Amino acid sequence: MKPRILIIYTGGTIGMIENPITRALQPFDFNHLIDNVPKVSKLDYDIDHRQFEPPIDSSNMRPEHWAEIAVIIEREYDRYDGFVVLHGTDTMAYTASALSFMLENLHKPVIITGSQLPIGEVRTDGEENLITALQVAAAIDSRGEPMVQEVAILFENHLWRGNRSTKMSADNFDAFKSNNYPPLADIGLGIEFDTDALYRSPGHRPLKVRHVMDTAVMVLEVTPGLPEYTLQHLLHTPGIKGIVLKTFGAGNAPTDKWFLKALNDAVARGIVIVNVTQCVNGGVDDTRYETGNGLATAGVVSGRDITVEAAITKLMYLFGMNLEPNVVANYMRHNLCGEISD
Ligand code: ASP
């Protein structure tokens, strides 16, 4: 049996061409993509595609688009061995994180890829990324099971866990990294999977897709000298339910009484505040310094080594289920699908 792969083309640079008049890059349709990658037909796979109408720049991605991707996967889950999602790089890590939560009990590969240069360009990275993503989506282990059973990002020389990934460069081909988790595979002459790093969802429950995301969440970055009125203003944003608080170092923030009281009052009003470090690497240890301890005492939840992308989409997903703030806070402390270290 040939591997059956469904490509879902959402847009992004990978499928872009230059507007001959304005010279700006704009999305083109999927046939352009296949025309430019004749090598795809050399893979002995059955490949179908679905595409967003119109394809979008990923900066325009919204939770409704994540739901659209999730619905396609849900509808086609039994017909395909794996899914390749072509997506712009700008918000790819958010989409990968969101899908990892929305696709519960996933046992098939959902490989997201894109490119830094349009696929029509001579030096494009899109061709290699697409071919490798298809191969990863078709890979099986020694028992004939899908090798990858999670949402992952394939970019340049690595396969990364989706909900651990961050876009690291606007210029380099090697644009993604998961700073707190090893690559799921190294791409060189061959594709070397790290089987210990691959996620396996417990049990064999059927896929359950949750489409509703609640967007009453935001990211608040602590900076030296953050004025009290700014903080109060943000914490009193009408309807806000969840906040990712980006703190210094190992989860530290000012110890000023007004600062901690403002956060404590917000938590008392039912807002879930999650402490995530501003550092690219490492995580929150709010027991290490007094400056982190104050946040824990104020009721701020430690996000440990979660990424901002995963933290914000996890809040959207949990509030999307209409859970009470204390239940959301509790889930934020625990690993759901490989997004934080145990
Ligand atoms: N702005 C583009 C996007 O994210 C960039 C890219 O595709 O890499 O859709």
Cα 90 to ligand 1 centre (Å): 5
Instruction: Give me the residue label for tokens 């017909």.
Output: 79
Residue 155, pLDDT score: 95
CA separation for the pair 298, 261 (Å, rounded): 7
Q: Is the CB of 88 under 6 A from ligand 1?
A: yes
Contact (Cβ atoms closer than 8 angstroms) between residue 10 and residue 87: yes
Whether ligand 1 lies within 6 angstroms of the CB of 114 is answered as: yes
Catalytic residues: 13
Which residue type sits at 172? N
- pLDDT given at position 19: 73
Ligand 1 centroid, distance to 32 Cα (angstroms) = 17
Please choose from 59, 154, 171 the residue to mutate so as to test ligand 1's pocket, defined by most ligand atoms within 8 A of CB.
Answer: 59
- Ligand 1 and 275: CB distance under 6 A: no
Retrieve residue 296's tokens.
């824990």
Backbone angles phi, psi at 76, to 5 degrees: -105, 5
Choose among 303, 297, 306, 292: nearest CA to 328.
303
**Does the C-beta of 27 come closer than 6 Å to ligand 1?**
no
Q: Decide: residue 231, CB within 10 A, 0-12 exposed, 13-18 middle, 19+ buried.
A: middle
- CA 135, 85, 218, 299 torsion: positive or negative? negative
- Termini Cα distance of the chain: 38
Ligand 1 midpoint to CA 14 (Å): 8
Q: How many helices (H) and strands (E) does the chain have?
A: 9, 18
Annotate 83-106 with three-state secondary structure. EEEECCCCCHHHHHHHHHHHEECC
All domains of the chain in start order, with CATH: 4-209 (3.40.50.1170), 217-332 (3.40.50.40)
Whole-number Å distance, alpha carbon 125 to ligand 1 midpoint, is: 13
Cβ of 124 closer than 6 Å to ligand 1, yes or no, is no
Atom of ligand 1 nearest to the CA of 116: 8
Q: Is 13 in the pocket of ligand 1 (CB under 6 A)?
A: yes
Amino acid symbol at 123: R
Q: How far apart are the C-alpha atoms of 183 and 228, rounded to whole Å?
A: 41
What does the pLDDT read at residue 41? 82
Show the low-confidence residues of the chain (pLDDT under 70).
27-34, 36
Query: Could you tell me the distance, in angstroms and rounded to a whole number, from the CA of residue 96 to the centre of ligand 1?
Result: 14
Measured from the Cβ of residue 190, the count of other Cβ atoms closer than 10 Å reads 9
